[in-house]
Amino acid sequence: MLPVVELGRSGRRVSRIGLGGMWLSIEGRPDRRQAERVIRRAVELGVTFIDTADVYCLDDDDLNHNERLIGETLAALGAESTVLTATKGGLRRPGGRWETDARPDRLREAALRSREALRLDRIVLYQLHAPDPRAPFESSVEALAGLQRDGVVELVGLSNVDLGQLQAAEAIVEITSVQNRYNPWDRAAEGSGLIDYCEERRITLIPYSPLGGARRVQLLQAHEPLRRVAARVGASPAELVLGWQLAKSGRAVPIPSARREASIESSVRAASLDVDDALVAELESAFGSLPP
């Protein structure tokens, strides 16, 4: 069974490995039945945290595709009350592009639409997808606080923020989670002090793109120094990277994506690895020779 961790300071507990839903709905997405099989397999393996967003779709005409897919699949499985689905607002997809739009009225509109797509009475965790340079950051966070007061969402999270923005947001509303990119190629969350701050404040760190993206997964699997370590411990290089993230923060919940059942099965195996300080140091040394 997957280990669990408290989500922020909410008292809710989620699996330490989550499922990132994005690749089930963007360009190159699998057919509906295959996508449903991936979600079903994740639930069977004990995954109780799925991350999505209204913009995990092809374009603005396809908004909420991933949310509908997850909501409908969990309802069919009878798992809508046991799996926590977190979603995000603050981006748009005009013509398939990714553009920020975190104006307060836009966030409220997006949250209400996401709640309907997910088939929920209340969104448990709603996250600001990214700060919008055209809207004051505090006004975007205040909009999320308003959604919480109105019972549209239960918990508030942030994504793609720095430490200063997190601290500014905390002055407005309790922050449950921070979802930032974190992988062997991008370790800014460490150097900035963000990971340590989240540990101290009991804020859940949700590393997205934990394996660096589809192309870089192949680089990990082919990297000879990582392959040697992986062979010794009986894991794949990708599993070792997820195990490294779990070791770096006791509150981390990585959200690897999957388009095949085998991918989520591999990700779940990472949670059973014993990654001690010596292995962390060995892995980080190997990361230094990864190709860009």
Global pTM reads 0.98
Divide the 292 residues of the chain into consecutive groups of 10 and give the mean pLDDT of each group: 96 98 98 98 98 98 98 98 98 98 98 98 98 98 98 98 98 98 98 98 98 94 98 98 98 98 98 98 98 96
Q: What pLDDT is attached to residue 251?
A: 95
Give the start-to-end residue ranges of the domains of the chain: 4-211+249-273
Q: What pLDDT is attached to residue 1?
A: 83
Per the structure block, which two tokens stand in for 5? 């961790």
Q: What pLDDT is attached to residue 68?
A: 98
Q: What pLDDT is attached to residue 214?
A: 86
Q: What pLDDT is attached to residue 95?
A: 98
Fold of domain 4-211+249-273: TIM Barrel (3.20.20)
Other residues' Cβ atoms within 10 Å of the Cβ of residue 37: 16
As annotated, the active-site residues are 56
- Distances, alpha carbon 183 to alpha carbons 86, 119, 174, in Å: 21, 32, 26
Burial of 170 (0-12, 13-18, 19+ CB in 10 A): middle
Q: What pLDDT is attached to residue 169?
A: 99
273 Cα distance to chain centroid: 20
Residue 145 CA to residue 290 CA, distance in Å, equals 41
Taking alpha carbons only, the member of 193, 220, 216 closest to residue 205 is 193
Q: What pLDDT is attached to residue 285?
A: 98
Per the structure block, which two tokens stand in for 277? 């300080």
